[in-house]
Amino acid sequence: MRKRCLTYSLLLLCWALPAWSAPEQPAEAQVKSAIILNMARYVDWPTESFSSDGAPILFCYSGQGTLTASLPSLQGKTVKGHPVVVRRMNTSVDIAGCHLVVVDATERRYAASIIDRTRHLPILTVGDFSGFSRDGGMVELFLQDGKVRFEINLAAARQSHLKISSQLLKVARVIRGAGD
């Protein structure tokens, strides 16, 4: 009888404790998606990247991880007046039209070739695994104490003629000169 009682109290505790100690936590992938959208709002693409002011901004991704699964929720949001279109890349050939490319952790083996193909194109590359920005990617997402952080490779962004707002750089960890 005592044991059964313990079981039920444990379950009660289980429900009570998280509610009391911390608010409900959003999923990592959702926060990362939101950060990617927000980040895009602090980046200036060359004007020739868009055919018109209201032309869509294309977010591309490869891989089938939790992050890329939550990216389609960004569809229809806007970045400086450009509606977001999210598209899955089928081959590396598809990269050319993209404004932003997300490389999921599951696809890190493709990272080197994606970085290579986007080197001089105005495409913001975002990687969700460690080593991405060091290897020439522009933005690397990581977790620190349970919070999402990012690292920006400034040299890589400059090579691609993307202007990154100083406001964004202020909250990022910035590395310079790598990956050329």
Candidates 106, 138, 142, 135; CA nearest to 122 is 138
One of 8, 48, 52, 177 touching other proteins (CB under 8 A): 8
Q: Taking contact as CB under 8 A, which single stretch among the options 2-10, 52-60, 119-127, 153-161 is the one that binds other proteins?
A: 2-10
Instruction: Tell which phi-psi region holds residue 63, choosing left (phi > 0), alpha (psi between -120 and 50) or beta.
Output: left
Examine residue 52 and tell whether it contacts other proteins (CB under 8 A).
Answer: no
Examine residue 159 and tell whether it contacts other proteins (CB under 8 A).
Answer: no
Q: Which residues contact 123 (CB under 8 A, 6 or more apart)?
A: 95, 98, 99, 100, 101, 160
Q: Please tell me whether residue 148 adopts helix, strand or coil conformation.
A: strand
Examine residue 168 and tell whether it contacts other proteins (CB under 8 A).
Answer: yes
One of 87, 149, 158, 161 touching other proteins (CB under 8 A): 149
User: Given the complex with other proteins, which of 52 and 109 has the nearer CB atom?
Assistant: 109
Q: How far is CA 138 from the centre of its chain?
A: 11
User: Given the complex with other proteins, which of 17 and 96 has the nearer CB atom?
Assistant: 17
Q: Which residues contact 75 (CB under 8 A, 6 or more apart)?
A: 84, 85, 86
Q: How far is CA 149 from the centre of its chain?
A: 10
Q: Taking contact as CB under 8 A, which single stretch among the options 43-51, 52-60, 70-78, 154-162 is the one that binds other proteins?
A: 70-78
Examine residue 3 and tell whether it contacts other proteins (CB under 8 A).
Answer: yes
Q: How many residues bind other proteins (CB under 8 A)?
A: 58
Candidates 116, 138, 114; CA nearest to 126 is 138
What is the number of other CB atoms lying within 10 angstroms of the CB of residue 142? 16
One of 50, 106, 154, 174 touching other proteins (CB under 8 A): 106
Exposed/middle/buried for residue 7 (C-beta within 10 Å: 0-12, 13-18, 19+): exposed
Examine residue 92 and tell whether it contacts other proteins (CB under 8 A).
Answer: yes
**Could you list the residues that contact other proteins (CB under 8 A)?**
3-4, 7-8, 11, 14-15, 17-18, 22-31, 33-35, 37-39, 42, 64-66, 69-70, 72-74, 77, 88-92, 105-106, 108-110, 112-114, 117, 131, 135, 143, 146-149, 168, 171
